[in-house]
Every structure is written in structure tokens, then in C-alpha cells.
Structure 1
Amino acid sequence: MTVFSFKPTLSVLTVATALSACTMMPRYEQPQVNVPETFRHDTQPETGIQAASLGWQDYFADPRLHRLIELALNNNTDLQEAALNAEAVRRQYMISRADLLPGINASGNGQRGRRAADLSGGNAMVSESYSVGLGITAYELDLFGRVRSQAEAAKQTYFSSAAARDAAHLTLIATVAKAYFNQLHAEEAMVLAQNVLKTRERTYELTQLKHRAGVVSALDLRQQEALIEAAKADYAAAVQSREQAQNALSMLINQPLPNDLPQGLSLEEQFKISKLPAGLSSEVLLNRPDIRAAEYDLRAANANIGAARAAFFPSISLTGTIGTGSTELSGLFEGRNRTWSFMPTINLPIFNWGRNRANLDLANIRKQIQIVRYEAAVQNAFRDVSDALVAREQLDERYDATMRQRQAFADSLRLVRLRYQHGVSNALDLLDAERNSYGADTALLNIELTRLENLADLYKALGGGLKRYTEDPS
């Protein structure tokens, strides 16, 4: 048996690899966006921890919320779609990268047939042939980096899709947290409305006694009845809000709410860290998945320019085979029956200069579009963080002020109620005191919800705790 030499094929591979090291991609330069180095209203707590190194389990404190987020990350359809999109783009990159190396295929065939006597000089003939071989079909020598540029563009597109998946991941965490906070807020609003209703019913009973005794008028009695109905309406609205929040959670986790969820915490205990620092704006840009996606899109556009430039130059394709053939199966592997062929093809662009010029101009314009989008993404990210920081600071001040107001109105209601019971204050004073106290309680509860939503939004705006997908997707 003859041992075949693959030196011609190996030589072709060696030359192709050396030539493909050249590309015509422009040197990538990250756009400089004019944003301040630091954020106003930022705080530096004693921990000094940054959002990028803080997982959501270390930020949110409620074990019930932890379980809901886990279910959402496993079951949410939007996140699953984003992950599948990223995987599809990764496969497309692997296809593009495969074009960098020649594909070697093995083939074998045999044929045996009888030729009619009239077609072969009066004598019937039986012929047979056999062949086996290895071949390369239309492999392009990437002399000017066209294929390499296309593969690089495909890789950067994958990185962009992975960053989009990260953004969906982070958005889902914040959305689940906010829906859960709304459920807790609605439940506390229900409790508040029930307590107010019980208090107003007791006041109404006292007013009825005074009305029978002729101390107060029917108008006072009707006003108390109106307050009772208002409390019932507030309770019904809170029930509606709770049910809607539960529906939102069910949709986010893609299943009904489980019955075995852990015991939850109160609104005041939802976060382990309430003063998460923003840090330098440049760090935020690295952590935000939408910023990373915008930059990867820009890198892909930059690589496409290299492919468009390479189209102006000749391309060479190689087709070659090596093998053996024989008219007899027993002689198939004899050395004298070795076969080979080598068929290079060169393609010279002559009359398509206008098309190639337009393609190059289009690639440059698309790069400029991506630069604009990158700058817009950076500016939007800076605004998101700045808005969240100033909201956190002002919400804290509003919460403290409303807490003091609530206490003042609660003390006032207690005193007015005592005066009313002893006939010193009239029903109008009591009604005003009850409205003020209930309004302060409701305002405090609403501000608490807004504070929690702000902290969830800030974690998202800072790109908290996500892995950066910059490794080779192969």
C-alpha cells in the first residue's frame, strides 16, 4: 500500500494562514464623549463597594424577593429570547470564522457498467473505475483580509448580542423587584385603610350618640359616613393594586406565584445597602451593558469597512484534489495510480469600481451612525445615573420631612379626638385632623415605595454585578 504525501496541501494551508494575517480594517479608536468625570449627589459609604462587584443577592435583602428573581431568571420568556438570540449570533460567528481555513473533504466513488456492442465497435464492453481522494473546493486566500474582517464583524456582533442579553437580565431583576415592592406597598395600604376604617367607625358610633343627644347635627353624622365610605374605597383600590402587582409578578416568572415562597420582609428592610456609590463615570460606562453593546456595534461597523476596502483588490480561490484512481479495485492504492489537480482562480474587479466605492462609502456612513449611537448611549447612561442619584437624595429628605409631618398630624389627631370626646372640639376639627393624619400616612407610604423603586433603578443604571462577555465566543 502506498502512503500519500500531503505536502502540497500543507503548503497551501501554510501560505493561506500567513497571508490572512493582513487586514484592511481601520485602527479602532474609542469615541471620546464629553461627560463629567464624577456624578453630583454621589455618596461614598464606609463599605466603598461598587455596583459592578455587587450581585443582586447582596443588594436586595428580602428572601422572598430572592426567590422571585431566581424564578424570573429561569423562566422569563423575554430573557430566554434574548439568550437564544445571542446564541444564534454566536453560531453565525462560528460559521464566518470557519471560512478563514480551507475545508478539506474526503470523497470516494466507484462505477461499473456495460457498453452496447453497437456503440463499441461490435463488441460489448464491461468497464469499471474506482477513485478516492481529498479535496479543497474554492478556498479564498484572504490576501487583503476580506474574510478576516467579516469574521471580526461577526464576533463583535455576537458581543453586542451578549451585552443585550445582559441588559435584559438586569432589567428583569429591577422589574421583578419593583413589582414586588408594589405588592408590599398595596398590602400595607390595605392595612392602613382597614385601621383608618375601624377608627372612623368608632368615631361614627360616638357621633351617633351625640346626635341622639342633640349635641351634633345630622350634617356631622353624614360627614362621618362619607369618611367611612372613603376608607372603604381606598381599601378596594389597594386590593386592586395588590392583585395587579401579583399578576405582574406571575407574568415575569412565567408561572403562578408559588405557595411555598419564603417569608418576606417589610418595606423598610428591602435593601442591604441603601447608599450605593456611583463612582467615576468612566467606570459606569464599562459596567453598563447598553454602552458595551453600542461599542461592540461600532467595532463591527469598523470591521465592515475593512471588508469593503478589500473588495477593491483581487481575490484568489483555490480548488485542489489529491487521491488515486484505478479501473480495478485491487489496484486502487498502487503508487502509479495516484492523481492530483490544482486549479487556482483569480478574480479581478474591473468594471465594478462604482459599486465597490458605494459599498465603502456606505460602510463608513454606518460607522458614523454607530458613533452617534454610542455617544447618545453614553449621554443617556450618564443622565440615568444622575437622575437616580439626585432622586435618592431628595427622596431621603422628603421621607424625613414627611415622617416628621406624619408624627405631628398623629399627635394633633390624638389631641383633637380627646377634645371632641369631651365636647371641646367640634366635628369639623375632628374631620380635618383625621384627613390630615390619613393623608400624611398615605404620603409616607407612597414616598417609601418611590424610594425603593429608585434604589432598584439605581442598581440597574449602574450596571450592577454583571459579567462582561468579551471572551472568544468559540
Structure 2
Amino acid sequence: MKYSIPLLLLCTSTLNGCMVGPDFQHPDVVTQTHYNTDADLLNGDQRLAIGQQIQAQWWTLFASKSLNDVIQQALQNNHDLAAAKETVAQANEFVQAERGGLLPQVAMTGTVGRQKYGAALFGPADFSIPPFTYYELGPEISWSPDLAGGKKRGIERQQAMAEYQLHQLDAAYVSLTAQVVQQTLAIATAQSEIAITQQLINEDEKNLKLVQTALQGGVATQVDVLTAQSQLDADRATLPALKQKQSIAQHALAILVGSAPADWTPPNFSLNDFHLPQQLPLSLPSELVRQRPDILSAEANLHAASATIGVATANLYPQVNLTGNILQEALTPSGLLKSVNSAWALAAGLTAPMYQGGRLTAEKHAAEHGYQAALAQYKQTILQSFAQVADSLQALQHDHEEFEAQQQAVNTAHSFLQLSRKSYQAGSTGVLPVEDATRQAYRTQLGLVRSQGQRLADTAQLFTALGGSPVQQSHDTPDQSR
């Protein structure tokens, strides 16, 4: 019998490396080679570099120092990003906590008690022990060998959840940088719209004065004056909405950099400060699934679901519990810590599920269904990512077409304005046709500015749809080797 405990420890240590349940395999569900039916080709002044990886700091392709500075402020001070980092650290600590369950657990125990034995304890003997107080002190060790690998599957599941949180941090990083770019472009576009609208209002004011002068000279009517006044009022009415749009973008940008709107003023962004990238890196679909944070998060969630099956399967197997203690037992506190009062105990227990009302089997089946649900979500996430890239590519193509049409409209409007001015100087027309031509020229200029801002915004959206970066942003990854 003296060899039974060491032999049991040896056997359980040998079996401790087994793990039931499925071993996770990275799903291979991507068969596409391009995103659109037109093989992802763009027409115009932007070209796709198919298969080229997007650089980590993709926003630098816009060549705006002010944008780069604001993004650095956001990365340093944004509270959502800080929360995501702490969540990753928390998940890594949970991994360490799960690993601790593989090791023997040692605790120091102390007991003080008052006890009285009944007379029947000693049989027919005519004596009894009076009530007494006892004291116990000593370490206790317990260990449950991981025979079926349930604990290791639990560690695997927690590691997968830590990886999930890591990819969520990457997603927060990409989302933050994308939002900063979008808000800066919104500010720059609104600023240009306000400037052009103000110029248009100035022209309307000049026109009104000219018509009023013409009315005094008898060459214009009151209808002409009201028409000019109406145009001025209508254009003035558009200015508050543009200023509000600019203010909203400025306030949103302040929040992104971790400041209250009253405490932070953004740079004076202008569309001319942004360079439209001419060469656009386009990852292949097979590469996209390895770099988009939302896809990687879905895969980590799938991995966790797989490990959950292993945990539920291990619960169907017997479990061994080993315990031991070394105690000092005495009837007075002063009697503790004396060798004569030393006591010890070793015990091994086996627990095997016999009847649980179907609970353990149902839990295993539930884990299997959970895996299938996570797999479906993973596939859906991939499809959605492909659609986002396809949408961005189509948007850039349509943006180019719109920009060319707006540029043509600007050229036509300016040519018409020049002809109207020549006709007016020759005395062939009045001042109102000239002012109408002027208004049309400014309005086409507004359309061109909006088209220019949309091209920049959709280019940024493509970079975001591609995952923002081919690798995880300089974060500590959970150690999978320990």
C-alpha cells in the first residue's frame, strides 16, 4: 500500500497529456480570386496594385502633415482604444488564471473547534471524554489531474478569447484611424463649401446692388429686384447648414482625440492639403481573411467554440482528486508547532458521472451547435468584408466618373459665364443673365468640391475595408507556447 499513492501520481501524470474533443483547424472557405465581376479594374487616374499589401500607416498616403499629427494625438489619447488595450491585458490575465488550474493547489488551513463525543462512541466502556477545545494548523495540498484534457481545453478556449480581444483591439485601431480621416475630410470639404458659398453670396450682394441701380435708372423692374433679393436670401440660407456640418465634424474629431469640443480646436484643414493616392494596394481575397481584424476576431471566436466542445466532452469522463495535508493538532495553542503533535493524511478520490439527467450530454451538444453557429458567423463576416471591398471599388469608379462630369460642368459653366459677360459688355443682354451664369459657375464649383472630397473619403474607405494594415498593430500577443 505504501507505493499506491506514488504509483497513482505517476499514472495520472502520464495521462495528463491527453485531450479529448476536436483539435481546431483554420477553416479554408475562400475560393474567390477577385471582388467584383469586372476583375477589380479601375478606370481613371487611380490604379490598383493587385496583391500588394497595404502599409500599416495607410493614412500617410494622403500626404497631409496635419492629418498625421491628429491621428497621432488620437492614438495616444483616445479612450476607446485605451479601454480595448486594457481588455486585452485582462484577457491575458485570465489565460494565466486558467493555467494555474493545471498545478497543485496549496493552502494554509487553521481550525479552532469545540467538541464533545457521545458515550456510544466508546461502546460498553464506562467512561466518557469531557468537552474539549482543539486547534489545527498546517498546509493542505490538492490536485485534480487533467486526465481528459478538460483543463487544457479550458486554457485553449481562454487563449482564443484573448486572441479575440487582441483582434478587437486591432479593429478599434483601424476604426479610430478611419474615423479621424473621415472627419478631417468632412471638415475640409465643409470648409471649401463654405468658402465657395460665401463667394456666391458676395456675388449675389453685388448683383442686388446692380439691379437696384438699374431700377433707379429705369432699365430694370421691381420684379428684377425681388428676383435678385430672392437669390441672395436662398444662398444665405444654405450657409448655416454648411457651418453646422463643419461644427459636427470638428466636435466628433475632438472626441476622437480624447478631448471635449470646448478644449480642443482642430487644424484648419483644406482639401488642397490632401493628395489623392494614385496607386491603391489591393489585397487578394485569400490574404484579406488573414489581415482584417473582424475576420480574425470571428476566427478566434470559432476557435473558442471548438475548445468549448473539448471542455464539455472532458466533463463526461471520470475525474481523480488527490489531497494531502500535514497538520499540527493540539488541545492548547501552545501545543502547536511541536513534532509530537504532527499528523498527516493522503487521499485519492475518483468521481465518474453516472446519471446527470442528460445535463452533460446536452452541454456537449450545445457546444457543438455553438461551434456551427460560430462557423456560420465566420463565413458571413468574410462575405460582408468582400462586399465592403467591392462597394469601395465601385464607389471609386463612380467617383471618378462623377469627378470628370463635374469638371466638365465647371468648364462649361465658366465658358458660358465668359460669353455672358462679353454679351453684356456688347449691350446684347442685361445684367441678370450674367448673374445667373455667375451663380451657375459657383454651383458647379460646389459640386466639384464635394466630388473631390468624396473621392478622398472613398479611397480611405477602401483602405479601411482592406483591414487597415496587413499585420496586427504592435500589440503584445498572448503566449500560446506556455
TM range (shorter): 0.7 to 0.9
Looking at structure 1, the residues matched to 268 and 9 of structure 2 have their Cα atoms a distance apart, in angstroms, of 63
Distance in 1 between the 2:357 and 2:111 partners? 44
> Identity over aligned residues, as a percent?
27
Are residue 463 (structure 1) and residue 467 (structure 2) matched? Answer: yes
The change in CA–CA distance for 1:45 and 1:80 in structure 2 (over 3 A counts) is: same
User: Match of 2:117?
Assistant: none
Q: Offset of 1:457 from its aligned partner?
A: 1.5
Partner of 1:165: 169
Question: For residue 78 of structure 1, what is the aligned residue in structure 2?
Answer: 80
AA of the residue aligned to 1:135: E
- 1:367 equivalenced with 2:374 (yes/no): no
Aligned equivalents of 2:434, 2:61: Cα separation in 1: 44
SS of the aligned residue for 2:349 comes to: strand
CA contact (8 A) 2:133 2:331 kept: yes
Q: Tell me, yes or no, if structure 1 residue 136 matches structure 2 residue 141.
A: yes
Matched, 1:408 2:412: yes
| 1:147 is the counterpart of 2:151 | yes
Partner of 2:202: 198
- Aligned residue number for residue 66 of structure 2: 64
SS in 1 for 2:280: coil
Higher mean Cα deviation, 210-219 or 441-450? 210-219
TM-superposed CA distance for 1:35, in Å, is 4.9
Quick one: structure 1 residues 373 and 380, their matched pair in 2 at CA, closer, same or farther if it must change by over 3 Å? same
Count of residues paired in the alignment: 457
Letter in 1 for 2:99: R
**Residue 22 in 1 paired to residue 21 in 2?**
no
Residues 278 and 284, structure 1, Cα contact 8 Å, conserved in 2: no
SS in 2 for 1:22: coil
Do the aligned partners of residues 438 and 16 (structure 1) sit closer, same or farther apart at CA in structure 2, a change above 3 Å counting?
A: farther
Alpha-carbon spacing, 1:221–1:347, altered in 2? closer, same or farther (3 Å): same
In the alignment, what sits opposite 2:118?
A: none
What is the CA deviation profile of residues 7-64 of structure 1, one whole-angstrom value per residue up to 9, with x for unaligned ones?
999988776554332111213233343552223236766798522x322453443232
Letter of the 2:100 partner, please give it: A
- Structure 1 residue 379, shift from structure 2 partner: 0.1
Q: Residue in 1 aligned with 2:316?
A: 312
Secondary structure at the counterpart of residue 321 of structure 1? strand
Residue correspondence of structure 1 range 37-436 to structure 2 within 5 A:
37-39=33-35, 40-41=40-41, 50-51=53-54, 53-56=55-58, 58-106=60-108, 133-137=138-142, 139-256=143-260, 266-271=270-275, 273-322=277-326, 332=337, 339-352=343-356, 354-427=358-431, 429-436=433-440
What TM-score does the superposition give when structure 2 sets the normalisation length?
A: 0.83
Change over 3 Å in CA distance of 1:397–1:8 after alignment to 2? farther
CA–CA distance in 2 between the matches of 1:26 and 1:89?
23
Amino acid at match of 1:72: A
Judged with a 3 Å threshold, the aligned counterparts in structure 2 of structure 1 residues 332 and 209 are, in CA distance, closer, same or farther, namely closer
* Matches of 1:84 and 1:136, distance apart in 2: 34
Amino acid at match of 1:54: A
Relative distance call for 1:90 and 1:15 in structure 2 (3 A) is: farther
- Alignment correspondent of 1:437: 441
Deviation at 1:371, TM superposition (A): 0.6
Partner of 2:119: none
CA distance in 2, matches of 1:91, 1:8: 37
Decide whether the 8 Å contact of 1:35 with 1:379 is kept in 2. Answer: no
Q: How far off is 1:213 after superposition?
A: 2.5
Q: Letter of the aligned partner of 1:254 in structure 2?
A: G
Contact 2:137/2:336 (8 A) holds in 1: no
Q: CA deviation at 1:297?
A: 0.6
CA distance in 2, matches of 1:135, 1:376: 51
- Measured in 2, the distance between the counterparts of 1:134 and 1:272 equals 70
Task: Determine the structure 1 residue equivalent to 2:29.
Answer: 33
2:261, 2:73 → 1: CA distance?
Answer: 10
Q: CA-to-partner distance for each residue in 1:193-214, whole Å, 9 max, x for gaps?
A: 1111222222333333333222
Instruction: Indicate conservation of the 8 Å contact 1:64/1:262, yes or no.
Output: no
**Taking structure 1 as reference, are residues 162 and 257 closer, same or farther at Cα in structure 2, changes over 3 Å only?**
same
Q: SS in structure 1 opposite 2:144?
A: strand
Q: Which runs of 5+ in 1 are unaligned?
A: 1-6, 113-120
Q: CA deviation at 1:166?
A: 1.7
Shift, 1:151, TM fit: 1.6
Report the Cα distance in structure 2 between the residues aligned to 1:271 and 1:20, rounded to whole angstroms: 60
